[in-house]
Amino acid sequence: MKIVGKTDIGLVRETNQDAFKIVALGQSAGFALVCDGMGGVNGGDRASSIAKAEISECIKASFAENMSEEDTRNVMLRAIDAANQKIYRTAKEHPELTGMGTTVVLTILYGGKAYVAHVGDSRLYRCQGGVLTQLTKDHSRVQDLVDRGIITPEEARVHPEKNMITRAVGIGPDVNVDFLTVDFEPGDKLLLCSDGLSNICTDGEIADVLKTREAEQAVETLIKLANMGGGHDNITVVIAEN
């Protein structure tokens, strides 16, 4: 198993409010995390940095490879809750950071499975047998409109409210986290990304890159494509290859 990643400021933003983390957990397990911060002049990068640190430390302290799916889920939910509490408390203590928060997409990989927890609109995709599937579902205003049949997925990509998320880590005392478990088989690739990639690159473009390039080159190529498409936001890409 190989996990590689990179974050890029893009071509428009003055700061990079994204964050990512990749950690090996013993001989045959690992986790990857992408966060996309928001709020205030300094709030976004502060929120994503807190989430990265809190979640990483919680998982490293609690994870064991003999864990059941339920135990793994609980470790991940506790880690995200710890990040939520820390961000929320920090904002309360520093009024200039009021409203800061972050998306989180997190996966633990071991035993031929990917355990996934997410909040917000950072995504996880799987490329399996050359077929790309978005495994997470955005917590966003436009996703709600798609679900209700008001707009199409194609219209969602250019909708003026496409950056409005309906859940985030750190904006309240509690956080609602979605969790799923999927197969992660030999030859599969997983992609974790912020919306700086997914708002620009189509599924077809992403699939072509993942099918034709090794992980390191795929990361560089996807960031380049997002910048060629305007680089309107920070871009973070993490790829796990089994």
Structural domains of the chain sorted by starting position, each given as residue range(s) with its CATH number in brackets: 2-241 (3.60.40.10)
The pLDDT mean for the chain works out to: 95
Residues 6+ apart with CB under 8 A from 71: none
- What's the pLDDT band for 181 if we cut at 50, 70, 90? very high
CA distances from 157 to 74, 154, 201, 203 (A): 33, 6, 10, 11
Q: What is the pTM of this model?
A: 0.96
- Over the stretch 64-88, which tens digit does the pLDDT of each residue have? 988 999 999 999 999 999 999 999 9
Q: Are 117 and 77 in contact (CB under 8 A)?
A: yes
Q: How many residues does the chain have?
A: 242
CA distances from 12 to 9, 151, 191, 224, 233 (A): 8, 28, 24, 14, 7
Q: Are 209 and 138 in contact (CB under 8 A)?
A: no
- Over the stretch 95-151, which tens digit does the pLDDT of each residue have? 999 999 999 999 999 999 999 999 999 999 999 999 999 999 999 999 999 999 999
Section 203-209 average pLDDT: 97
Supply the pLDDT for residue 17. Answer: 96
